[in-house]
Every structure is written in C-alpha cells, then in structure tokens.
Amino acid sequence: MLWSALQIVLLVYLGLMALIYFKQASLVFLPEIDRGFQASPAEIGLPFTPLKLATSDGETLDGWFVPAGTKPGARGLVVFFHGNAGNIAHRLDYLRMFHDLGLATLIIDYRGYGLSSGNPSEEGTYLDAEAAWRHATQELGFPAERIVLFGESLGGGVAARMAAKNRPGALVLASTFTSVPDMGADLYPLLPIRWLAHIRYDNLERLSQINCPLLVIHSRSDDIIPYNHGRRLFDAARQPKQFLEIEGGHNDGVVFGREAWIRQLDGFLRQALP
C-alpha cells in the first residue's frame, strides 16, 4: 500500500516536471490575456504614427511612435518593452507620462501579442527588440545615446538584453525578475526548476555587460515578482545607478501612480541623457 502511494507521488512529480519542461512557453508567455483589447493614443489625445515593423525572421510587429510633448524627440526616445499580459493598448498611461516629460516613445507588441504575427519565444522577443532598435536608430534617426530602453516586468529581460548589445543612453527596469529560473525556483521550490528551465532571461548575469546608467523600479508589495529580485539587480549593477522604491502590487504599482515617482524618474533621465 505504501509502495503504491509512493509510486503515485513519484508519477505526479515526474508529470509536473514534464509539464514544466515541455509546456514552458505557455507558462512563461501569456499573449492571449485581453489580446483583443484595442485602443490607441488618440483616445487620450496623443498624436501617433501606427507602425508595422518587419523582424529579421519574417514576423510583422504592431507598434506606435508617439512624438514628444513639445518638439518631437526634443529630449530623447523611450523604446518601451511591456510586461507579459495584455498588449500596447493597455500601456496608454505610460505613453501619456513620457509625452508629458517631453520624450518620444516607440512601443511594440512582441510576436504573438496584440496584432503582431507569430508565436512568442525568448529568442523571438530579442529579434522583436532588434527590429524596434533598427527603426529607432535608422528610420527615426535617434542616436543611441538619446535612447532610453524601458522594460516592464517581462519586458525588462528584453530591454536588458538590448542594453547589453547596444549601449543606449539609459536603461530602466521596472518590476523585473533576476531570471526565469530564479522566478521558477521561488514558485516551485520542490522542483528542479533551474535544471528544467530552457527559457532564461538571465537579467542578473547580463548586468555585468551593461555600461549605461540604470534605474531599477520595484515595490516591496509586488505580489508576482518579489522585491528582492529588484534589489539583487540593483546591487549587481555598475554605477551610475539609482533605485526607486514604489508601492502597490505588481499590476497596480506603477511609476506613473504618483507625482513624486515621476519626478524621480524624470531626474534620472535628465542626468542620463545628454
């Protein structure tokens, strides 16, 4: 009887390991949540240019370019990589904040998100980011030192990888994890997640390759990505760097939530951009 029970437990354990390994993409990427939701910057009074960006492997990305609040590109350009669920239509408050700060914004949906083609993958999101970078530097004409890479949650992994490859004017990581294996180990401490994880987003490791000014934004009350992930990212980063502690949960603790937080972000960007 005991042996049968142990066999059942072992089979369940092995089944969970197989599920995490083979269905990892569906656990990490959540493109279907509110995928059909559509809105545009025009609904909050912002001028914008709709974009269709081609990736190097043949996908088509949906995106927007929103000019700065005064003169287009007067201070610089934010290339924004959003978090896991939802799409660019859910990020209008970010666009309003950047516009009011005198910054232009380029925002895209990753492959499989929103109106973009394809299916998401770690390598795919990097190719998507490279398409956005090419558009920012070649089509829009912004020099690298006037570009801010802003990554929200999952987007922090995309932004960090781009900052390691191309030295931008600044990098902002908002509510970002140290790595997917670290997140998995937090969620499933009894499973060998670090061995099973083939989607990685090794943000902590990448910080050693990043030389631009860094701002880490995180809330102690983040209910999805623990606060210690943000602190570890900050501690591992080179100078110059700043840490902005905000309040609220993962989905409602956002930098545009309070004027004081916006002012600290603005101060960081004024120091980082020429």
Cα angle for residues 153, 157, 162 (degrees, 5° grid): 130
pLDDT of residue 20: 66
Per residue in 250-265, pLDDT tens?
Answer: 989 999 999 999 999 9
In whole angstroms, what is the distance from residue 147 CA to residue 136 CA? Answer: 8
Give me the DSSP letters along 26-59.
HHH--TTTTTT----GGGGT---EEEEEEPTTS-
Residue 1, Cβ neighbours under 10 Å: how many?
5
pLDDT of residue 72: 46
Contact present, 169 and 178 (Cβ < 8 Å): no
State the average pLDDT for the chain.
91
Per residue in 89-107, pLDDT tens?
Answer: 999 999 999 999 999 999 9
* Section 146-169 average pLDDT: 97
Query: Which H or E element spans position 147?
Result: strand 147-152
Residue 218, Cβ neighbours under 10 Å: how many?
25
Nearest one of 102, 118, 103 to 53, comparing CA atoms: 118
Name the pTM for this structure.
0.93
For 143, which DSSP code? Answer: -
Q: Is the pLDDT score of 124 beyond 70?
A: yes
Per residue in 185-243, pLDDT tens?
Answer: 888 787 777 777 788 999 999 998 999 999 999 999 999 999 999 999 999 999 999 99
pLDDT of residue 237: 96
Per residue in 65-92, pLDDT tens?
Answer: 999 975 544 689 999 999 998 899 999 9
Lowest mean pLDDT among 11-15, 109-113, 157-161: 11-15
Give me the DSSP letters along 74-91.
SS-EEEEE--SSS-GGGG
Higher pLDDT, 243 or 5: 243
Per residue in 263-274, pLDDT tens?
Answer: 999 999 999 997
Q: Is the pLDDT score of 184 beyond 90?
A: no
In whole angstroms, what is the distance from residue 213 CA to residue 272 CA? Answer: 6
Q: How far is CA 234 from CA 117, 159, 213, 238, 256, in A?
A: 34, 15, 11, 8, 21
pLDDT of residue 245: 98
pLDDT of residue 197: 74
pLDDT of residue 73: 46
pLDDT of residue 32: 77
In whole angstroms, what is the distance from residue 105 CA to residue 140 CA? Answer: 11
Nearest one of 51, 54, 47, 48 to 62, comparing CA atoms: 51
